[in-house]
């Protein structure tokens, strides 16, 4: 039983959860501040170029557009991360396949350009056209 007036000590897991939440809060605050500074600069430029009312109206439009794009981006990234966590093996195979696809064609073209008549031939005396005796 915990004495009155004192809160129970946090477990290590609880402390880690709070620490991660604190880090997430810091990152969110950074991006909110960055967005605020960008919109403030936008407002200053547009009010000086378009005038007070129209500049403010354009900044309001930009706020709506940026907020909508941010929400859509968060939803898409969250959806992709949820899918990736359940299909990470297939994603890894797909990424490796994309990285490897087409390498042989490129190697064969480079070898032909450098003077090798056939890349797959057993003749390994490949020299550039300038060095041929």
Is residue 129 pLDDT above 60, yes or no?
no
State how far the Cα of 14 lies from the Cα of 21, in Å rounded to an integer: 11
**Local confidence band at 95 (pLDDT 50, 70, 90 cut-offs):** confident
Segment among 36-45, 70-79, 91-100, 121-130 with least mean pLDDT? 121-130
* Residue 62 tokens, joined: 């930009």
pTM: 0.42
Segment among 28-37, 71-80, 96-105 with least mean pLDDT? 96-105
pLDDT in tens, 27-53: 888 988 988 898 888 888 888 888 878
Instruction: State the DSSP string of 51-86.
Output: -HHHHHHHHHHHHHHHHHHHHHHHHHHHHHHHHHHH
Nearest partner of 119 among 131, 102, 107, judged by Cα: 107
**Local confidence band at 116 (pLDDT 50, 70, 90 cut-offs):** low
The average confidence (pLDDT) of the chain is: 75
């Amino acid at each position: 039983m915990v004495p009155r007036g004192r809160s129970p000590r946090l477990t290590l897991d609880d402390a880690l959860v709070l620490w991660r939440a604190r880090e997430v809060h810091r990152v969110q605050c950074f991006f909110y501040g960055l967005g605020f500074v960008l919109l403030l600069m936008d407002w200053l430029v547009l009010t000086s170029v378009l005038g007070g009312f129209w500049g403010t109206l354009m900044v309001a439009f930009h706020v709506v557009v940026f907020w909508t794009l941010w929400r859509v981006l968060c939803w898409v990234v969250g959806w992709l991360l949820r899918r990736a966590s359940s299909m990470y093996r297939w994603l890894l195979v797909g990424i490796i396949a994309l990285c490897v696809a087409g390498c042989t064609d490129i190697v064969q073209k480079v070898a032909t350009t450098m003077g090798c008549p056939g890349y797959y031939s057993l003749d390994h005396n490949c020299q550039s056209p300038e060095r041929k005796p």
